[in-house]
């Protein structure tokens, strides 16, 4: 029903347009055609003078367009519907053009003159179909070239987005508008331009590929350049100007000062520490900035925002002093400590050594996280240099205050292994109290080259306090002292010359080892491996061994197999010697016999003397 009504309106409007023309012309060809009775004429009932026919033909040639001719003609918009435009080109009937062809001209109205090309002389309904798009295309290249040569400003309709820019309808030609040529400032929302009619300048034509490039930015650059020169000429350090946030980066904010760009570095945005400039400003925001510096030709302008406000340290309450407790938020964490914002723009450092009474080194991340609200004690305060140091451990009592009561020498406790070095193990007795176990105090029997062979971080160990240095805050601990020293027992069990059975465990340099039990590993020198038959003991061979050295202090045990049978040999040699000596004693003359012999010899000598 709506379409029938619209068609009726079109017919009525067309009829009104025809009646209007009758008033202005002496004889309207259309009216002549409408009133002429062709049937009577063809039957010869009604005759027409030749002069009348000649006059009619002249009027038709003068006023009507030859629809067979493919040339661009000018028509008049006589009616507009929601979808179409009715165009009068002085033909037998009005033509119809879809409004889509006039998207570039949303202000199209009745009475406007438009260029058209006859597309279809008569469609199924007998309607003349025209094309405005084709007409514009035919004329477009001449117009585009003329606009380029004369540097004229042209109107264009932004049709859609494309890669790198926009497609613009200029005189019916699809021209390319690069994103960088839309405006002097970066474009964040390209869609806002789609469907708009804007002014452009034709900046490039490629005749070979039929490409046209237009620019809207070029139209405003000239005005901006003049404005820029004026602003630069008036720039002074300390001057406060109003600007608009043009772009935000991770390192700062670019401000448009009216054709001149300046940069606010992230450190000049706020007295408080921030992670990104968008925490302070947003795009297209208007704000006042102060000129901090610029280069000789004023092309690089450094701006500041925080400088327009009083420094937070100057506004810091005079009541805050060393020893006071303050609260703040953790804003930055480093390995050496954490920065706490106690007031806007005022930060204090809590060194990692001030986070805990513990003496072994830890990272600040073990105690606090960014964003935590913490309480601390002011340790130092320098208002002139704007520095403040804080402490957390001072909020709790120093555990070393009553250390002699809690950990007297010879007392036994349990501790947790927190760290170890080449020379020992650090054990935490409680938060803030650490002790050191030297590697030699870990075991009575095991020979430990590195503490990691005996314990791991996190283990719980039984310890005994060996030494306590209150002033030096040092606690010496021992682990082996919590058990009985087995070497006291072994000193008797493995005394010198005792014999024990064992097997060769390993052949080592200059000898071998024998494991008598889990603690006693004896060394057997090579020359003491010799057996009675002259051969040497081998790995795994079991034999008797004699202890030839036992050192409790250095936990050294030396054994010998050879000494077993060599001692027997020595005993046999000694027995033989004693027996031989006894036999010799029996063969020797006694003293009485000697006296008798001597007396006999004397008597013999005396008898001889008498004979003489």
Q: What is the pLDDT of residues 98-155, one digit of tens each?
A: 888 887 787 888 888 888 887 766 666 667 778 877 887 777 788 888 888 888 888 8
Q: Is the pLDDT of residue 354 over 80?
A: yes
Q: Is the pLDDT of residue 25 over 50?
A: no
Q: Is the pLDDT of residue 13 over 50?
A: no
The Cα 198–Cα 217 span in angstroms is 11
Q: Is the pLDDT of residue 93 over 50?
A: yes
Q: Residue 274: its pLDDT value, please?
A: 84
Give alpha helix (H) positions in 177-246: 217-234
Q: What is the pLDDT of residues 292-317, one digit of tens each?
A: 988 766 678 899 998 888 888 887 77
Residue 251: pLDDT band (50, 70, 90) is: very high
**Domains of the chain, each with CATH number or no CATH:** 2-136 (2.40.50.140), 151-220 (2.40.50.140), 235-308 (2.40.50.140), 312-395 (2.40.50.140), 403-482 (2.40.50.140)
Q: Residue 55: its pLDDT value, please?
A: 61
Decide: 345 and 270 in contact? Cβ < 8 Å.
yes
Q: Is the pLDDT of residue 22 over 50?
A: no
Phi, psi angles (nearest 5°) of residue 181: -105, 10
Decide: 148 and 154 in contact? Cβ < 8 Å.
no
pLDDT above 90: percentage of residues in the chain: 21
The Cα 440–Cα 100 span in angstroms is 96
SS3 annotation, 540-594: CCEEEEEEEEEECCCCEEEEECHHHHHHHHHHHHHHHHHHHHHHHHHHCCCHHHH
State which H helix or E strand residue 157 sits in: strand 153-162
Q: What is the pLDDT of residues 517-573, one digit of tens each?
A: 877 889 999 989 988 888 889 999 999 999 999 988 788 899 999 888 877 666 655
Q: Residue 1: its pLDDT value, please?
A: 40
Q: Residue 523: its pLDDT value, please?
A: 93
Top pLDDT among 58 and 102 is at 102
Q: Residue 606: its pLDDT value, please?
A: 64
State which H helix or E strand residue 390 sits in: strand 387-391
Whole-number average pLDDT of the chain? 80
Report, in angstroms and rounded to the nearest whole number, the Rg of the chain calculated over CA atoms. 59
Contacts of 212 (CB under 8 A, 6+ apart): 144, 170, 173, 174, 175, 176, 202, 204, 205, 206
The Cα 525–Cα 513 span in angstroms is 9
pTM for the whole structure: 0.42
Q: Residue 7: its pLDDT value, please?
A: 42
Contacts of 521 (CB under 8 A, 6+ apart): 505, 513, 514, 515, 557
Q: What is the pLDDT of residues 264-275, one digit of tens each?
A: 999 999 888 888
Q: Residue 20: its pLDDT value, please?
A: 43
Q: Is the pLDDT of residue 436 over 80?
A: yes
Phi, psi angles (nearest 5°) of residue 297: -95, 10
Read off the DSSP letter of residue 335.
T
Q: Which of these, 158, 594, 108, lies nearest to 602 by C-alpha position?
A: 594
How crowded is the C-beta side of 532, counted as CA atoms within 13 Å?
A: 8
The Cα 489–Cα 482 span in angstroms is 16
Q: Is the pLDDT of residue 428 over 80?
A: yes
Q: Is the pLDDT of residue 445 over 80?
A: no
């Amino acid at each position: 029903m709506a379409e029938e009504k619209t068609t009726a309106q079109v017919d009525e409007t067309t009829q009104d347009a025809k009646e209007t023309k009758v008033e202005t012309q002496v004889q309207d060809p259309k009216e002549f055609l409408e009133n002429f009775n062709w049937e009577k004429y063809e039957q010869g009932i009604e005759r027409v003078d030749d002069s009348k026919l000649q006059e009619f033909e002249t009027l038709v040639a003068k006023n009507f367009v030859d629809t067979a001719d493919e040339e661009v003609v000018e028509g008049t918009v006589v009616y507009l519907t929601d979808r179409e435009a009715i165009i009068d080109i002085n033909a037998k009937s009005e033509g119809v053009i879809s409004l889509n062809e006039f998207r570039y001209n949303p202000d199209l109205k009745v009475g406007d003159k438009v260029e058209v090309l006859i597309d279809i002389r008569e469609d199924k309904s007998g309607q003349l179909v025209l094309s405005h798009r084709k007409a514009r295309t035919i004329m477009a290249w001449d117009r585009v070239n003329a606009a380029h040569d004369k540097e004229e400003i042209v109107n264009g309709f932004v049709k859609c987005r494309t890669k790198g820019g926009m497609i613009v309808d200029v005189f019916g030609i699809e021209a390319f508008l690069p994103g960088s040529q839309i405006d002097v400032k970066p474009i964040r929302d390209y869609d806002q331009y789609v469907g708009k009619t804007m002014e452009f300048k034709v900046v490039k034509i490629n005749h070979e590929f039929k490409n046209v490039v237009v620019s809207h930015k070029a139209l405003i650059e000239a005005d901006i350049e003049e404005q820029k020169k004026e602003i630069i000429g008036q720039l002074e350090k300390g001057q406060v100007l109003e600007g608009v946030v043009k772009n935000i980066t991770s390192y700062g904010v670019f401000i448009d000062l009216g054709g001149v760009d300046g940069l606010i570095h992230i450190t000049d945005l706020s007295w408080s520490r921030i992670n990104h400039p968008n925490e302070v400003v947003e795009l297209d925001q208007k704000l006042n900035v102060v000129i901090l510096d610029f280069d000789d030709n004023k092309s690089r302008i450094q701006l500041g925002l925080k400088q327009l406000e009083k420094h937070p340290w100057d506004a810091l309450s005079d009541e805050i002093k060393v020893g006071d407790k303050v609260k703040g938020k953790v804003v930055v964490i480093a390995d050496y400590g954490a920065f706490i914002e106690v007031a806007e723009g005022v930060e204090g450092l809590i060194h990692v050594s001030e986070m805990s009474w513990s003496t072994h080194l830890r990272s600040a991340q073990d105690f606090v996280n960014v964003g935590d609200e913490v309480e601390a004690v002011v340790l130092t305060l320098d208002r002139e240099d704007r520095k403040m140091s804080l402490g957390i451990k001072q909020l709790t009592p120093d555990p070393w205050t009553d250390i002699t009561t809690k950990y007297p020498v010879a007392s036994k406790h349990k501790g947790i292994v927190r760290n170890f070095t080449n020379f020992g193990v650090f054990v935490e007795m409680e938060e803030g109290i650490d002790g050191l176990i030297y590697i030699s105090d870990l075991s009575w029997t095991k020979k430990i080259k590195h503490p990691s062979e005996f314990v791991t971080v996190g283990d719980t160990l039984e310890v005994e306090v060996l030494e306590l240095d209150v002033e030096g805050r040092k606690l010496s601990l021992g682990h082996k002292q919590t058990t009985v020293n087995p070497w006291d027992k072994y000193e008797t069990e493995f005394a010198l010359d005792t014999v024990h059975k064992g097997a060769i465990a390993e052949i080592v340099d200059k000898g071998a080892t024998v494991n008598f039990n889990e603690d006693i590993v004896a060394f057997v020198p090579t020359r003491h491996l010799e057996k009675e038959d002259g051969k040497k003991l081998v790995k795994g061979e079991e034999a008797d061994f004699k202890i030839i050295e036992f050192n409790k202090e250095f936990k050294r045990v030396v054994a010998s197999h050879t000494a077993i049978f060599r001692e027997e040999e020595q005993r046999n040699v000694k027995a033989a010697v004693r027996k031989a000596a006894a036999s010799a004693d029996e063969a020797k003359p006694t003293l009485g016999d000697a006296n008798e012999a001597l007396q006999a010899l004397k008597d013999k000598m005396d008898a001889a003397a008498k004979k003489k």
